[in-house]
């Protein structure tokens, strides 16, 4: 294993964040409320709402998953309901539907942005109404890897059926579609500030709300649904989802350097474009239309099936028993080297070659309709996400990735591919 280690995406923390934290400690604001939480929410609503005529509001929360959960609850999702969910995404987009006892109905992607296919969404909604006699309660598209979805067309479909949209912009802070920032299109917008996102609060997330009343309702559920009595009295189920003032301090400092982070990720994309252009069969995912302006949270490539990689015949020789991809917490050791749906051997061989050089990479998201957890969920598929999962790989792109690192990564990709 190489001594050098280049992580997929790790956010940089600077002195400004420490200044905010020091002041909060001096004032003893270390609880899940306070002036920095309020200021961070104001920063976020202004940033996301820039370029629109919407008076957006914001609730800072413990994580992006909590934001999706609360948005679904605010849309009235409950047991027995159905929610249209993008299949090609991380499980956090779908799992909160299950938290509420509802059923996710998965919709496949279109090949341009890799996100929810608007026409497939339209036909899927019509079919669900025909089958169940009820329309879905919400639509949850995602902007994967910071690439905006065809959100204008998704919103048109949602308007046809009068279904609210919960826009999962967890990976898309700073991305824009047609001059508007991701997170500002739907009834609700979801942001994430995990340690590997465009900005961090060491964890955390936020929910962008359409108005003050929606914000008030979300805040009620995010703070254990307490009634206004001098003792604890509850008539509805609430959650402990509020962001702490200390985390908000980090977020305030991060907002000041967000433009630098976005510019850096776009620079990394441009360097990959230049450095990898001479490899036939390796394709860098780019903005599909002039309306798309991705932040390139992660830079992603696809490999042609006939592209040969060193040690490809040994790609799945052993079961993996450790954490892959820098995930926090505990993962269960794989019982077998294989599942019923996995990346092509050349993708896994390239990942292993980069890992041996100390370079973290990761396959694209495994579609939700292929997850054993959701084997019984309805799914409307067209083969796009299955194909992407089989051929795609994420490359390092965070603020700590230097131009020298990019040269190193490019060199090892070239060395791994058999001419």
Q: CB-side exposure of 7: number of CA atoms within 13 Å? A: 12
Q: Region 208-215: what's the mean pLDDT?
A: 97
pLDDT > 60? residue 327: no
- The residue from 229, 256, 283 where one domain ends is 256
Mean pLDDT is lowest, of 224-228, 343-347, 356-360, for 224-228
Write the pLDDT tens digit of every residue in 362-410: 999 999 999 999 999 999 999 999 999 999 999 999 999 999 999 999 9
Kindly report the number of other CB atoms within 10 A of residue 283's CB atom.
Answer: 15
**Residues 166, 188: Cα–Cα separation, whole Å:** 5
Report pLDDT digits (tens) over 81-130.
999 999 999 999 999 999 999 999 999 999 999 999 999 999 999 999 99
CA torsion, ordered 14, 63, 258, 181, to nearest 10 deg: 180
> 10 Å Cβ neighbour count for 281?
14
State mean pLDDT over 205-219. Answer: 97
**Distance in angstroms (rounded) separating the CA atoms of residues 182 and 10:** 21
Same-domain check for residues 158 and 56 = yes
Contacts of 399 (CB under 8 A, 6+ apart): 10, 11, 12, 260, 261, 264
* Residue at 2 is within a domain: no
Look at residue 288 and tell me whether its pLDDT is greater than 60.
yes
- Domain of residue 393 covers 258-416
Strand partners, 188: 166
CATH code for the domain of 21: 3.40.640.10
What is the rounded average pLDDT of the residues 324-330? 56
Q: Band of the pLDDT at 30, cuts 50, 70, 90?
A: confident
Listed residues 256, 284, 312: the one ending a domain:
256
Mean pLDDT, rounded, for 12-31: 86
Task: Specify if 3 maps to a domain.
Answer: no
Examine the domain organization and report whether 188 and 128 are in the same domain: yes
Residues 27 and 120 in one domain: yes
Flag whether pLDDT at 342 surpasses 90: yes
Q: Is residue 132 part of a domain?
A: yes
Same domain? For 238 and 276 the reply is no
Cβ atoms within 10 Å, residue 52: 13
Quote the pLDDT of residue 269: 98
Q: What does the block give as tokens for 391?
A: 């051929």
In a domain, 6, yes or no: no
Mean pLDDT in residue range 173-178: 98
Instruction: Output the pLDDT for position 1.
Output: 56
pLDDT of residue 96: 98
Nearest to 386 by CA among 307, 313, 287, 302: 302
Q: What is the pLDDT of residue 366?
A: 98
Sequence-distant (6+) residues with CB within 8 A of 292 are 113, 147, 148, 177
231 and 359 in a common domain? no
CB 262 within 8 A of CB 273: no
Quote the CA–CA distance of 63 and 194 in Å, as a whole number: 7
Residues 164 and 241 in one domain: yes
Domain boundary among 205, 222, 256: 256
Residues 370 and 248 in one domain: no
How confident is the model over 231-251, as pLDDT tens digits?
999 999 999 999 999 999 999
Shared domain for 148 and 242, answered yes or no, is yes
* pLDDT classification of 49: cutoffs 50, 70, 90: very high
Strand-pairing partners, residue 192, are 205
CB atoms within 10 A of CB 231: 6
Rounded Cα gap, residues 291 and 178, in angstroms:
4
The residues that bridge with 306 in the sheet, in sequence order, are none
Contact between residue 61 and residue 96 where contact means Cβ atoms under 8 Å apart: no
pLDDT at 171: 98
What are the tens digits of pLDDT across the range 129-141? 999 999 999 999 9
Domain co-membership, 99 together with 194: yes
Domain count, the chain: 2
Q: Chain-wide mean pLDDT for the chain?
A: 94
């Amino acid at each position: 294993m190489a001594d050098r280690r280049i992580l997929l995406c790790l956010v940089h923390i600077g002195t400004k964040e420490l200044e905010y934290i020091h002041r909060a400690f001096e004032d003893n604001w270390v609880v899940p409320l306070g002036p920095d939480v309020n200021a961070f929410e104001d920063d976020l609503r202004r940033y996301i709402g820039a370029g629109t005529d919407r008076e957006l509001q914001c609730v800072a929360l413990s994580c992006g998953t909590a934001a999706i959960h609360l948005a679904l609850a605010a849309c009235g999702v409950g047991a027995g309901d159905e929610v249209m969910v993008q299949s090609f995404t991380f499980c956090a987009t779908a799992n909160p539907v299950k938290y509420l006892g509802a059923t996710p109905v998965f919709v496949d992607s279109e090949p341009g942005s890799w996100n929810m296919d608007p026409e497939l969404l339209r036909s899927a909604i019509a079919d669900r109404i025909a089958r169940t006699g009820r329309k879905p309660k919400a639509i949850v598209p995602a902007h994967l890897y910071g690439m905006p979805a065809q959100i204008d067309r998704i919103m048109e479909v949602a308007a046809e059926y009068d279904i609210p949209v919960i826009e999962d912009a967890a990976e898309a802070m700073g991305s824009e579609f047609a001059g508007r920032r991701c997170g500002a299109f739907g009834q609700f917008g979801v942001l994430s500030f995990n340690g590997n996102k465009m900005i961090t609060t060491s964890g955390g997330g936020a929910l962008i709300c359409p108005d003050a009343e929606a914000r008030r309702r979300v805040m009620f559920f995010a703070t254990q649904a307490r009634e206004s009595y001098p003792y604890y009295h509850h008539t509805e189920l609430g959650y402990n989802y509020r962001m702490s003032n200390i985390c908000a301090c980090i977020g305030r400092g991060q907002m000041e350097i967000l433009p630098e982070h976005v510019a850096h990720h776009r620079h990394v994309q441009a360097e990959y474009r230049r450095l990898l252009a001479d490899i036939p069969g390796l394709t860098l995912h780019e903005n599909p239309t002039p309306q798309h302006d991705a932040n390139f949270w992660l830079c992603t490539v696809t490999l042609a099936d006939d592209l040969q990689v060193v040690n490809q015949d040994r790609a799945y020789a052993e079961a993996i028993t450790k954490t892959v991809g820098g995930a926090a917490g505990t993962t269960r050791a794989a019982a077998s080297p294989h599942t019923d749906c996995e990346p092509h051997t050349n993708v896994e061989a390239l990942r292993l070659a980069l890992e041996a050089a100390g370079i973290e990479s990761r396959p694209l998201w495994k579609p939700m309709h292929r997850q054993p957890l959701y084997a019984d969920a309805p799914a409307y598929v067209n083969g796009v996400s299955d194909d992407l999962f089989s051929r795609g790989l994420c490359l390092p792109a965070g603020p700590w990735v230097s131009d020298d690192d990019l040269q190193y990564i490019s060199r090892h990709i070239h060395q791994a591919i058999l001419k």
